[in-house]
């Protein structure tokens, strides 16, 4: 039995105990208000039993309900909200207008019993609310709020009993009842609105969606989050996202999708299902990076130790050179791992391709660029002017450039 089920059974036991105590104290003291509140508490027993059944049913999936019966919890929460509102009406009915034939000599025992009931309800409602929010269970949270409403009703009864015992003429119980009924109505309406929002598939809150967006964008291969939506179903979340990926192979896209799903589920609680749609990045221009020597004339043979990088921005449709700029390599003086850090820095600059003098085979930069979907090419030619001329006019065959894969036998 999971934590939610155990908590629902504990709530059922507490409500049975409280209902029995109120009936006994009502008959013992002659308080009609206590008897009326016992009737109200008996409805709580039905509610707790319904919540327990709702939690058990919510985990089941069938052909007719392939996404589960999670919303049973929200339906139970809505019913509970209506019972909370009914409780407010009952308090008004029993305390403000019902007459009482109280046995004054027995009132101290009734007062002590109501104090004990109030303390029990308050302690358990706080405990249940804490666990319910940890489990993100709307029905258990609604039940905890309902028990809190019962605390207020017990307090109203207590005020009435004390006032009757002290023979206070000012109707303290009526004033307190009006305040508490207003609070109960507020709690009931809030639970009802939250339940209806989920039943109508309202969107997840902004903070949760923003957290999910940031987790997705941590993946270097994700160029853009085109669309992101999510909804609640019971305590669980369903998420759908449309992503632009810098990858060419479908297998690679599936692998990245699995990684993104695992990170979201590990960082966002109660995510049941994630649906990701991929599409390749459609760019009007690409950025090509080349490691260059200090004089900006030649291709550097040492990628990580290159003093600077030449970044060329070229239009896709006609290979027109739109912009070129030299950026100093911030990691050229680092110790070990400078090539990996330079690769990660170039990815952060939006690089789509790199042209290098030596193969990346079995080296860190190769795997960094491969994971990010950056194309790698190798050439034996060192003059930057000849490389730029070929990039602008590939059909001219000015120099041999091949893919910088794990085997690269390229000669000038």
Q: Do 405 and 374 contact (CB within 8 A), yes or no?
A: no
Q: Do 82 and 192 contact (CB within 8 A), yes or no?
A: yes
Residues 56-67 as b/e (b if ≥16 CB within 10 A, e otherwise) read: bebeeeeeeeee
The token pair at 259 is 């990684």
CB atoms within 10 A of CB 96: 16
The pLDDT value given to residue 330: 93
The pLDDT value given to residue 409: 35
Decide: residue 294, CB within 10 A, 0-12 exposed, 13-18 middle, 19+ buried: exposed
| Distance separating alpha carbons of residues 318 and 286, to the nearest angstrom | 12
3-state DSSP assignment of residue 389: helix
pLDDT tens per residue across span 180-217: 567 667 767 877 887 787 777 777 888 889 999 999 98
For the chain, the residue count is: 412
The pLDDT value given to residue 310: 94
CB neighbour list of residue 49: distance below 8 Å, 6 or more residues apart: 12
Domains identified in the chain and CATH numbers: 3-199 (1.20.1510.10), 206-280 (3.30.70.1350), 285-403 (3.30.420.130)
In which element (H, E) is residue 303 found? none
Q: Which residue has the tokens 């449309």?
A: 242
What percent of the chain stands above pLDDT 90?
14
Q: Do 387 and 375 contact (CB within 8 A), yes or no?
A: no
Q: Which residue in 385, 378, 387 sits closest to 410, CA to CA?
A: 378
What parts of the chain have a pLDDT lower than 50? 173, 396-403, 405-412
Q: How far apart are the first and last CA of the chain?
A: 71
Q: Which residue has the tokens 């000599």?
A: 105
């Amino acid at each position: 039995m999971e934590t939610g089920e155990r908590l629902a059974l504990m709530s059922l036991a507490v409500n049975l105990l409280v209902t029995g105590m109120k009936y006994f104290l009502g008959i013992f003291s002659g308080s009609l208000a206590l008897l009326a509140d016992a009737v109200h508490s008996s409805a709580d027993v039905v509610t707790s039993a319904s919540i327990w059944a709702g939690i058990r049913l919510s985990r089941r999936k069938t052909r007719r309900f392939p996404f589960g019966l999670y919303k049973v919890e929200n339906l139970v929460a809505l019913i509970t909200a209506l019972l909370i509102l009914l409780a407010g009406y009952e308090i008004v009915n029993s305390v403000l207008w019902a007459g009482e034939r109280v046995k004054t000599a027995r009132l101290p025992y009734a007062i002590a019993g109501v104090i004990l009931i109030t303390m029990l309800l308050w302690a358990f409602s706080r405990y249940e609310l804490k666990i319910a929010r940890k489990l993100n269970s709307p029905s258990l949270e609604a039940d905890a709020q309902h028990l809190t409403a019962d605390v207020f009703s017990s307090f109203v009864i207590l005020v009435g009993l004390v006032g009757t015992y002290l023979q206070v003429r000012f109707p303290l119980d009526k004033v307190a009842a009006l305040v508490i009924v207003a609070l109960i109505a507020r709690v009931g309406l809030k639970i009802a609105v939250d339940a209806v929002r989920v039943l109508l598939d309202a969107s997840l809150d902004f903070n949760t969606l923003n957290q999910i967006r940031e987790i997705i964008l941590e993946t270097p291969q994700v160029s853009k989050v085109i669309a992101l939506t999510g909804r609640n179903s019971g305590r669980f979340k369903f998420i759908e996202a449309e992503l632009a990926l810098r990858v060419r192979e479908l297998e690679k896209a599936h692998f990245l999708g699995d990684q993104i799903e695992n990170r979201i589920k590990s960082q966002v609680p109660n995510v049941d299902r994630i649906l990701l749609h991929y599409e390749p990045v459609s760019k009007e221009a690409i950025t090509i990076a080349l490691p260059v020597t200090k004089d900006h004339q030649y291709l550097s043979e040492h990628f990580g130790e290159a003093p600077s990088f030449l970044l060329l921005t070229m239009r896709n449709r006609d290979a027109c050179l739109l912009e070129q700029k030299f950026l100093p390599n911030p990691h050229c003086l680092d110790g070990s791992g400078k090539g990996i850090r330079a690769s990660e820095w170039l990815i952060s600059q939006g690089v789509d391709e790199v042209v290098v003098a030596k193969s990346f085979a079995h080296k860190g930069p190769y795997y960094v660029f491969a994971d990010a979907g950056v194309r790698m090419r190798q050439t034996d030619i060192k003059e930057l002017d000849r490389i730029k001329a070929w990039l602008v006019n590939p059909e001219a065959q000015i120099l041999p450039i091949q893919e910088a894969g794990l085997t690269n036998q390229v000669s000038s």
